[in-house]
């Protein structure tokens, strides 16, 4: 049986974080309830297609946005709905993204009983001052409590997200944040450099010149410090931003880097299925309205050629620390030359017939991708 992953998007949040450019709405908006019905309709449509029936679902990822704003019973029912529509393997990894202010022992226990077996807690910082600056609407205490309650509820696979390179952040502050995270002993840690996006509060402040951001060299130092601290504590770096204890790499995210098949449901979700790449509309009212009229909320469909898919495998595969087999670039003169050039630049290295990013290349992954494209 062929395998695939499911991604389900929930585009609602408590409020917009200062750095966030995602397509989200406030949860109290008129849309949250109607969105669920639309989501089920979209899933029903695709599950009814014969081409999906011979797929086993090995990962489900409930992301967003803040899916944990929905009642735990509602999310559990949605998972049951998925199981009724698709064959979800008994050992499937089922991840839920949670915001620390939205959880308590009762709803975490319901989610665990409902089949969620991996939590991704968006903590971002262990400094109350930074949490306030980031507009996170939770405190350090709430984040720690969420983690402790998740363990109490039974979760054995917990991932934490952290952001570095914050305005006026010192290396000391970043090291303290990492130490706080490590003291909790999560199975997985994702670390991201703050990215300033147009249309966000930070974007406006940066344009006004009122945001004092670390220099590029300092940002590199934050990243290198994190790599060295996490590796010294037994965490394995398996992708540019992702570290885990042995056996706890995120199976769902690996599907993206391996360019395996993923069915995306919900707002702005991407589907990679056979030779097709589909993207859903980014507008919540359009998404709901189209499904209410039994139309698919797709805003882009593109057919990909085997060459394009192989190029994607190279570019996304290089994000993983294991890299890609050299045989993927050797048959093509241009790919071979680009690889040689990137090795000379110090961004790639070749060993044991594998091509991998160097530590310097990990910070230049976008430039490496552009060089191949």
Question: In the complex, which residues of this chain contact ligand SF4 (CB under 6 A)?
Answer: 13, 16-17, 20, 22, 24, 64-66, 99, 122
Q: Distance (Å, rounded) from C-alpha 160 to C-alpha 137?
A: 17
Q: Which is nearer to ligand SF4, 66 or 339 (CB)?
A: 66
Residue 62: partners with Cβ closer than 8 Å, 6 or more residues away: 8, 10, 75, 78, 94, 95, 96, 97, 116
Q: Which is nearer to ligand SF4, 13 or 85 (CB)?
A: 13
Q: Distance (Å, rounded) from C-alpha 253 to C-alpha 255?
A: 5
Q: Which is nearer to ligand SF4, 65 or 317 (CB)?
A: 65
Q: Which is nearer to ligand SF4, 68 or 173 (CB)?
A: 68
Residue located via tokens 């949605």: 78
- Report the residue count for the chain: 373
Q: Which is nearer to ligand SF4, 22 or 87 (CB)?
A: 22
- In angstroms, what CA-CA distances link 209 with 112, 129, 205, 206, 213? 45, 20, 6, 5, 10
Of 214, 178, 224, nearest to 194 by C-alpha is 214
Least Å from the CB of residue 167 to ligand SF4? 16
Least Å from the CB of residue 67 to ligand SF4? 10
Query: In degrees rounded to 5, what are phi and psi of residue 164?
Result: -120, 170
Q: Which is nearer to ligand SF4, 197 or 308 (CB)?
A: 197
Residue 257: partners with Cβ closer than 8 Å, 6 or more residues away: 239, 316, 317, 319, 320
Q: Distance (Å, rounded) from C-alpha 79 to C-alpha 220?
A: 40
Residue 155: partners with Cβ closer than 8 Å, 6 or more residues away: 108, 112, 116, 117, 118, 119
Q: Which is nearer to ligand SF4, 58 or 137 (CB)?
A: 137
């Amino acid at each position: 049986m062929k395998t695939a992953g499911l991604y389900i998007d929930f585009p609602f949040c408590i409020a917009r974080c200062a750095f966030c450019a995602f397509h989200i709405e406030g949860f109290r908006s008129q849309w949250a309830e109607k969105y669920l019905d639309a989501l089920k309709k979209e899933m029903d449509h695709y599950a009814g297609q014969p081409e999906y029936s011979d797929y086993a679902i090995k990962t489900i990822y409930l992301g967003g946005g803040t899916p944990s704003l929905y009642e735990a019973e509602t999310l559990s029912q949605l998972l049951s709905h998925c199981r009724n529509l698709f064959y979800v393997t008994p050992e499937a990894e089922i991840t839920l993204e949670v915001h620390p202010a939205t959880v308590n022992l009762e709803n975490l226990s319901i989610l665990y009983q409902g089949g969620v077996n991996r939590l991704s807690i968006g903590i971002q910082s262990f400094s109350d001052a930074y949490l306030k600056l980031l507009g996170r609407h939770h405190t350090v205490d709430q984040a720690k409590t969420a983690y402790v309650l998740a363990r109490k509820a039974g979760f054995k696979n917990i991932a934490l997200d952290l952001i570095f390179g914050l305005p006026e952040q010192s290396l000391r502050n970043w090291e303290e944040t990492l130490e706080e995270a490590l003291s909790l002993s999560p199975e997985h840690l994702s670390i991201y450099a703050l990215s300033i996006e147009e249309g966000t509060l930070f974007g406006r402040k940066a344009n006004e010149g009122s945001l004092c951001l670390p220099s590029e060299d300092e940002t590199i130092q934050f990243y290198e410090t994190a790599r060295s601290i996490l590796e010294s504590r037994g965490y394995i770096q398996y992708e540019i931003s992702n570290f885990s204890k042995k056996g706890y790499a995120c199976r769902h995210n690996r599907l993206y880097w391996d360019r395996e098949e993923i069915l995306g449901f919900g707002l702005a979700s991407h589907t990679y299925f056979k030779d097709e790449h589909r993207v859903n509309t980014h507008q919540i009212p359009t998404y709901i309205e189209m499904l209410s009229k039994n139309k698919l909320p797709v805003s882009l469909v593109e057919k990909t050629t085997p060459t394009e898919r192989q190029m994607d495998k190279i570019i996304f595969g290089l994000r993983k620390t294991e890299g890609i087999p050299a045989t993927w670039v050797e048959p093509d003169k241009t790919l071979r030359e680009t690889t040689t050039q990137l090795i000379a630049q110090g961004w790639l290295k070749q060993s044991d017939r594998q091509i991998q990013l160097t530590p310097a290349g990990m910070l230049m992954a976008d430039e490496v991708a552009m060089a191949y494209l």
